[in-house]
Amino acid sequence: MTHRQVVISASRRTDIPGFYMPWFMQQIKQASVETVNPYNLRTRTIPLAPRHVHSIVFWSKNFGPFIDEGYGERLRRYGYRLFFNFTINSESRPLEPNIPPLDDRLGQLETLCTVYGPEAVTWRFDPVCFYKTPSGHRHNLADFERIADVAARYGIRRCITSFRDDYKKIDRRTAKRAGFRFIDPPLQKKVRVLTFMAAHLAGNRIDLYTCCEKAVLAALPPGSGVKAAACIDHHLLARLYGEGVSFSRDTGQRRKQGCGCHTAVDIGDYRRHPCYHDCLFCYANPVSPS
């Protein structure tokens, strides 16, 4: 039987590159990590030696600490293959209060593309948000075109997006802000937004993908060019780093909503690794910003 290596996801649940790389490197040194299922709290031990790991997919909104401390280069010397899902949204302190300025994040994107190659980086503009404040209706698309233009210069060819999801904890969080309320726009407005985004990206030779937006994707006109995303795409990882991975779909993700991810082991932990970005729309954020 052919040995299948595992893909490590680090992590959908928190920002490991931004906050927890010392912990991550300790697990690499130990050649294993203990994961906890967030639903049934069962634990299992995952081997992390390079021979067991096909590739590591890092997710972050701030790769500054990762870059500044040279973690990626150390991991490559140890024999690991790296991929990066980098979320870069418009500058918005109300929505994302604790992330670096946009110029800094674009500088990080340039570094990742230069050092690891743009084919190993996916830009996520995620999520698209609409909301109401005392001064009127707002959205977070203001810097989208600028980010797209810069990303294209660095060689980025994939952008993944989605619309903000409703969660009761988010409603409770925003209720503490007088006059602030998230809005879920009608389907046709979402179609117009994706059509606009896809058209601008096409001019930059960037493809647009949607994460868990099955209904919106189905409503798009023929020829829109928008595709369903696999944020962890083993076909892409295999092209970059060779075969050895399973192409089975990840049953732990939102497949009914259109998630196309292949199976991976997510090593983040909501309780042990709280995310301090405090993004207002984030389902993983238990903190209620003041």
Higher-confidence residue of 156 and 178: namely 156
Question: What span, in angstroms and rounded, lies between the C-alpha atoms of 127 and 190?
Answer: 12
Residue recorded with tokens 């937006």: 213
The CATH number assigned to the domain with range 6-266 reads 3.80.30
Peptide linkage before 11 cis (omega within 30 of 0): yes
Instruction: Determine contact, residues 71/25, Cβ cutoff 8 Å.
Output: yes
Q: What pLDDT, on the 0 to 100 scale, is given for residue 257?
A: 78
Q: Which stretch of 59-63, 249-253, 273-277 has the lowest confidence by average pLDDT?
A: 249-253
pLDDT at 288 over 60: no
The contacts of residue 30 (CB under 8 Å, 6+ apart) are 48
Q: 99 is written with which tokens?
A: 């992330």
The answer, yes or no, to whether residue 157 has pLDDT greater than 60, is yes
State how far the Cα of 277 lies from the Cα of 97, in Å rounded to an integer. Answer: 7
pLDDT at 128 over 80: yes
- Predicted pLDDT of residue 143: 98
Q: Is 129 strand, coil or helix?
A: coil
Mean pLDDT, the chain, rounded, equals 93
pLDDT tier at 250, thresholds 50, 70, 90: confident
10-23 confidence digits (pLDDT tens):
999 999 999 999 99
pLDDT score at 3: 67
195 and 202 Cβ atoms separated by less than 8 Å: no
Above 80 in pLDDT, residue 251?
no
| No. of helices (H) and no. of strands (E), the chain | 10, 13
Q: What is the arrangement of strands in the sheet containing 136-139, beginning at the earlier edge strand?
A: 136-139, 130-133, 181-183
pLDDT greater at residue 248 or residue 65: 65
pLDDT beyond 60 at 1: no
pLDDT in tens, 176-199: 786 899 999 999 999 999 999 999
Q: Given a cut of 90, is residue 284 above it in pLDDT?
A: no
For 154, counting Cβ atoms within 10 Å of its Cβ (0-12 exposed, 13-18 middle, 19+ buried), the class is middle
* Average pLDDT value for residue range 35-49: 89
In the chain, where the domains are located? 6-266
* pLDDT score, position 290: 38
CA–CA distance, 236 with 117 (Å, rounded to integer): 14
